[in-house]
Amino acid sequence: MEAFSALLDRLSLTPQRNAKIALLTEYFGNAPDPDRGYALAAITGDLDIPSVKPAMLRALIADRYDEALFAMSYDYVGDLAETIALVWPARPGANRAPDLSEIVETLQASTRADGPAHVERWLDALGATQRWALLKLVTGGLRIGVSARLAKTALSAFGDVDVQHVEEIWHGIDPPYESLFAWLEGDQDKPEPGDLALFRPVMLATALEEKALKDRLDPSDYAAEWKWDGVRVQAVCENGYKRLYSRTGDEISGTFPDVLAGLDFHGAIDGELLVRRKDGSVAPFGELQQRLNRKTVSKKQMTDRPAFIRAYDLLTLEGEDWRKKPFAERRQRLEKMIETHEGGDRLDISPLVPFETWEELAKHRADPPAPEIEGVMLKRWDSVYQPGRPKGPWFKWKQDPYLIDAVLLYAQRGHGKRSSFYSDYTFGVWREGENGGDELVPVGKAYFGFTDEELKQIDRFVRDNTIDRFGPVRAVKADKENGLVLEIAFEGLNRSARHKSGVAMRFPRIHRLRWDKPAAEADRLETLEAMLPD
């Protein structure tokens, strides 16, 4: 447990990507089995410990610590696990510190009734940093700045193999991954996960600068297709198995059984997951969002919001790997496959955008045939399907973001290296109040888009202008005479019955701070409503 806690602590304080990879590879080389496998599962989000929940941890600290004092401590620290770890009053004579594998295997075999007792015993036996790591482990919220993709990249560095090979077998192996580490260390052959409709690493595009478009690229070298506002997915149907994956390789099959049921091919395709309206057109992203991240999906949800895949590319078909063939050939074969597909309306193809000059394509981009289109994708006709984000073969040329001026309303402490700063912001715009006069109504939240120096400036404003507190959240002065105006950039807008304003933003972020603008001159809700799709 000591090595695992030291790893998490160092990762949380290390911002550089390569440095994080170095820390992970060092840990993988020194930690024994099965500890390193359980650590890997925790970092990638594949470790399930159902016997302990945050509410149980709150109950544990309530028995050991003054409730009001803990509330003040939590407000300052902003992270439940870190707060409990720091204030936990350990009892003398506690048992020895457990190994990581002992903790995981004990809790996985425990019920919700006896799980907290084990955690309490271990908290007594561990130091503050190890207590923090234990609590992060059991709640699943590590927040150390390491994605599953980065962890797999570290595995590839550790074993000196291409990360593509790690990703291809990932979904066919289970924690604690002993066969994976044996292969990476050269002690046995590459694990054979079997024919289970496995994920293939995804090819990504780079953002396109308009100057590069005109100066360096020949339009005849590229195909263009619409970039739809949905969720990038990979659908795999092989040897009797059907699976649906996100672009990061997370399986989402259980959330979209209706889509899988309508797929009738033997292979793997790359595409966009969307929801179809009754008239056959694509519904706004908000409709798809209603179906995302659900463990179960009702028949009514599937009926009201029928999902489908708009295919972009062909990876395999009938046992043949098409990824090394040029895009022109893959596209032609994909079109033929879609034409003969007998699964109904759960699968169609993203149409190509005809153009001869960049000026012609720019006009198409500026006036797409549907509001659910974010821009255009450019793909070299001769490009192979290469995992990762190679520079040159594929570009995404998105529409310019929407911009509004909003007023900061609430701020909450961040996590990890931001736990001492108010870095998560709720902002609002003006509307006519029920009793006359104007009032501010929340329209979104943002926690990125600013520099470290700007973060310090906003944090200072929040502390100097707090008018109320709600646990870890502070309300700040926000009226016609007082307030901080934030210029917010976002990709789109949807109607939303769950929000007081009636609208929900897509990918909001802070574009710049408007210290120069009075709060009274921020935008109004009517401005956002005019942006809503018909």
Query: What's 280's domain CATH number?
Result: 3.30.470.30
Q: How far apart are CA 142 and CA 133, in angstroms?
A: 8
Those residues whose C-beta lies under 8 Å from the C-beta of residue 464, and which sit 6 or more positions away, are none
Q: How far apart are CA 507 and CA 139, in angstroms?
A: 27
- Each residue's pLDDT tens digit, 50-91: 888 888 899 999 999 998 899 888 877 777 888 999 999 877
Query: b/e for 271-282, b at 16 or more Cβ within 10 A?
Result: bbbbbbeeeeeb
Query: Domain ends where: 99, 114, 139?
Result: 139
Query: Where is the domain boundary, 139, 168, 189?
Result: 139
**Is the predicted pLDDT of residue 302 greater than 90, yes or no?**
yes
369 and 235: one domain?
yes
In the chain, % helix, strand, coil (3-state, to 5) comes to: 35, 25, 40
Are 229 and 339 in a shared domain? yes
Residue 92 has pLDDT above 80, yes or no: no
Residue with tokens 């309300």: 475
Task: Find the domain containing 471 and state its range.
Answer: 402-529
Q: Are residues 251 and 359 in the same domain?
A: yes
Distance CA 127, CA 122 (A): 10
Are 215 and 310 within one domain?
A: yes
Q: Looking at residues 506-517, what average pLDDT do you find?
A: 88
Look at 95 and 229; give whichever has higher pLDDT: 229
Q: What is the 3-state secondary structure (H, E, C) of 305-368?
A: CCEEEEEEEEEEECCEECCCCCHHHHHHHHHHHHHHCCCCCCEEECCECCCCCHHHHHHHHHCC
CB within 8 Å of 22: residues ≥ 6 apart: none
Whether 168 is covered by a domain: the verdict is no
Per-residue pLDDT band for 198 (boundaries 50, 70, 90) equals confident
- Do 392 and 252 share a domain, yes or no? yes
Mean of the pLDDT values across residues 284-291? Answer: 84
Q: Based on the domain organization, do 363 and 415 belong to the same domain?
A: no
Q: Is 149 contained in some domain?
A: no
Q: Which of 183-192, 306-315, 451-460 has the highest mean pLDDT?
A: 306-315
Instruction: Note whether residue 157 is domain-resident.
Output: no
pLDDT (0 to 100) of residue 208: 83
Listed range (78-92, 326-340, 348-362, 452-466) with the worst mean pLDDT:
78-92
Q: What is the pLDDT of residue 329?
A: 98
Residue 145, pLDDT above cutoff 90: no
Tell me how far apart the alpha carbons of residues 258 and 303 are, in angstroms, rounded to a whole number: 9
- Report the Cα 70 to chain-centroid distance in Å: 31
Tokens found for residue 196: 């289970």
What does the pLDDT read at residue 534? 65
Do 322 and 385 form a contact (C-beta atoms < 8 A)? yes
Closest CA to 418 of 466, 440, 450: 450
Query: Are 50 and 70 contained in the same domain?
Result: yes
523 with 498: CB under 8 angstroms?
no
pLDDT of the residue at 73: 85
* Domain contains 35: yes
Largest pairwise CA distance in the chain? 78
Least confident of 12-16, 314-318, 459-463: 12-16
User: Is pLDDT at 195 greater than 80 in this prediction?
Assistant: no
**Which of residues 383, 398, 413 is at a domain's end?**
398
Same domain? For 266 and 331 the reply is yes
**Where does the pLDDT of residue 95 fall: very low under 50, low under 70, confident under 90, or very high at 90 and above?**
low
Instruction: Output the domain CATH number for residue 53.
Output: 1.10.3260.10
Helices (H) and strands (E) in the chain, counts: 20, 19
Q: What is the pLDDT of residues 332-343, one digit of tens each?
A: 999 999 999 987
Indicate whether 17 belongs to any domain: yes
Q: Is residue 365 part of a domain?
A: yes
What pLDDT sits at residue 94?
A: 60
Question: Is residue 193 domain-resident?
Answer: no
Q: Are residues 25 and 74 in the same domain?
A: yes
**Mean pLDDT lowest among 263-277, 284-298, 434-448:** 284-298
On whether both 272 and 339 belong to a single domain, the answer is yes
450 shares its domain with 494: yes
Please, are residues 46 and 173 in contact by the beta-carbon 8 Å criterion? no
- pLDDT band of residue 8 (cuts 50, 70, 90) is very high
Phi and psi, residue 422, nearest 5°: -85, 105
pLDDT of 378 over the 70 cut: yes
* Model confidence pLDDT, tens digit, residues 399-418: 878 889 999 999 998 766 67
Alpha helices, H only, 171-209: 178-184
In a domain, 153, yes or no: no
137-146, 172-181, 233-242: range with lowest mean pLDDT: 137-146
Shared-domain flag, residues 392 and 424: no
pLDDT reported for residue 211: 65
Report the pLDDT averaged over residues 226-231: 92
